[in-house]
Chains A and B, each alone.
Chain A
Amino acid sequence: MALQILIVDDSPAMRSFIKRVLKLSGIEVDEFHEAGNGLEALSVMLNNPIDAVLTDINMPVMDGETFVRKLRGSGPFIATPVVVISTDATTQRIQTMLSLGAVGYLQKPFGPEQLRNELESVLGVNYE
């Protein structure tokens, strides 16, 4: 199962790192899509069949909380899996994002194995 992955982060360097780690992880990716904030991400999702979203929280224009809230509000993306990737691993933040509808939470720093495990768990697949 080759995936269409959307990476949402305001840092081009971090988006590049996540793509690199995904390639190293062994996960089969058909196409990478990128967005610099939640609003851009919604636009990308309207035009592409996204299988999973990896999103940061602190972003300009539309942050990760608002983005996930909008995805889960209604419409075609209500079931698209969203994994949050953030430096913030406080209990309060994790609970907030999961209650909004994120299905996974990965704390930076992370390596290829952790990212693969998180995506396998979220998507119910095994790339071993």
Chain B
Amino acid sequence: MDGLIGALLYSCSEHVLETMFFAPVLEEVDAAASDGHSRVTSRLHFHGKPCGDFEVDADPAVARALTAGFLGIEESDVKPLQEDEVMAEFCNMTCGSALSSLGRVEYFSLETPTTLRPAEFAPVVEGVRRGFLLDQGTLSVCLRVDFDRN
């Protein structure tokens, strides 16, 4: 099951990045390489069948570039609040897209994501994690799905 989730997570993340953030993925990287570094993190919990958690962490330069790409503005004009909103949108869209593609999902409801800036990132969600290299640095996503609880 983890292999299927990992493949879906990769393809959905890549599709979201390219379609809505105009950010092509250069290659897949080891997601754990970001642990202990300064990252912008967005996280959400979802209810339903199944329930679970989703987490995204990104280099601050990646978060800024994604925000500029999403809003169609210059990176130098990006404000911290906009960055928080856009990282939350990425978290929301990628999680929703992955869950919608997962065959066994009956229904789900996403909680509002929270965005944080930990000095030394440590993943909170223990699930299937995939990492990506973009032009400005790395980004990783992690999905935990629990089919046994609502």
Tell me, rounded to whole Å, the shortest Cβ–Cβ distance linking B38 to chain A: 22
Q: Contact partner of B107 among A12, A90, A107, A111, CB < 8 A?
A: A90
**Inter-chain contacts of B99 with A (CB < 8 A):** 88, 90
Tell me, rounded to whole Å, the shortest Cβ–Cβ distance linking B147 to chain A: 15
Q: Considering the complex of A and B, which 10 residue pairs feature the smallest CB-CB distances, nearest first?
A: A87-B96, A89-B100, A109-B19, A13-B85, A109-B20, A109-B16, A108-B93, A92-B107, A20-B72, A13-B86
User: Within 8 Å of chain A (Cβ to Cβ): is B128?
Assistant: no
User: Within 8 Å of chain A (Cβ to Cβ): is B121?
Assistant: no
**Inter-chain contacts of A87 with B (CB < 8 A):** 92-93, 95-97, 100, 110
**Inter-chain contacts of B106 with A (CB < 8 A):** 90, 92
User: Within 8 Å of chain A (Cβ to Cβ): is B105?
Assistant: yes
Tell me, rounded to whole Å, the shortest Cβ–Cβ distance linking B59 to chain A: 19
Indicate if the CB atoms of B108 and A58 lie closer than 8 Å.
Answer: no
Indicate if the CB atoms of A108 and B82 lie closer than 8 Å.
Answer: no
User: Within 8 Å of chain B (Cβ to Cβ): is A127?
Assistant: no
Q: What is the CA–CA distance of A109 and B95 in the complex, to the nearest angstrom?
A: 11
Q: Considering only CB atoms, which chain A residue lies closest to B96 in the complex?
A: A87
Q: What is the CA–CA distance of A88 and B101 in the complex, to the nearest angstrom?
A: 10
Tell me, rounded to whole Å, the shortest Cβ–Cβ distance linking B32 to chain A: 26
User: Within 8 Å of chain A (Cβ to Cβ): is B70?
Assistant: yes
Most chain B CB within a 10 A radius of its CB, from A13, A92, A107: A13
Q: Considering only CB atoms, which chain B residue lies closest to A63 in the complex?
A: B109
Q: Considering only CB atoms, which chain B residue lies closest to A87 in the complex?
A: B96
User: Within 8 Å of chain A (Cβ to Cβ): is B75?
Assistant: no
User: Within 8 Å of chain B (Cβ to Cβ): is A14?
Assistant: yes
- We find that the number of chain B residues with CB closer than 8 angstroms to chain A is 27
CB 8 Å contact bits of A1-38 with B (1 = contact, 0 = none): 00000000001111011001000000000000000000
**Inter-chain contacts of B71 with A (CB < 8 A):** 13, 16-17, 20
Q: Contact partner of A93 among B19, B93, B107, CB < 8 A?
A: B107
Question: If the complex has contacts A87-B110, A92-B106, are A109 and B89 also in contact, measured as CB distance less than 8 A?
Answer: no
Q: Considering only CB atoms, which chain B residue lies closest to A58 in the complex?
A: B110
Q: Considering only CB atoms, which chain A residue lies closest to B100 in the complex?
A: A89
Q: What is the CA–CA distance of A12 and B86 in the complex, to the nearest angstrom?
A: 9
Most chain A CB within a 10 A radius of its CB, from B85, B92, B100, B110: B100
User: Within 8 Å of chain B (Cβ to Cβ): is A55?
Assistant: no
User: Within 8 Å of chain A (Cβ to Cβ): is B88?
Assistant: yes
Indicate if the CB atoms of B85 and A107 lie closer than 8 Å.
Answer: no
Q: What is the CA–CA distance of A88 and B93 in the complex, to the nearest angstrom?
A: 9
Q: What is the CA–CA distance of A14 and B71 in the complex, to the nearest angstrom?
A: 8
> Could you show 27 A-B contacts with beta carbons less than 8 Å apart?
A11-B88, A12-B85, A13-B70, A13-B71, A13-B85, A17-B89, A20-B71, A58-B109, A58-B110, A87-B100, A88-B96, A88-B100, A88-B108, A88-B110, A89-B97, A89-B100, A90-B107, A90-B108, A92-B106, A93-B107, A107-B97, A108-B16, A108-B93, A108-B97, A109-B15, A109-B16, A109-B97
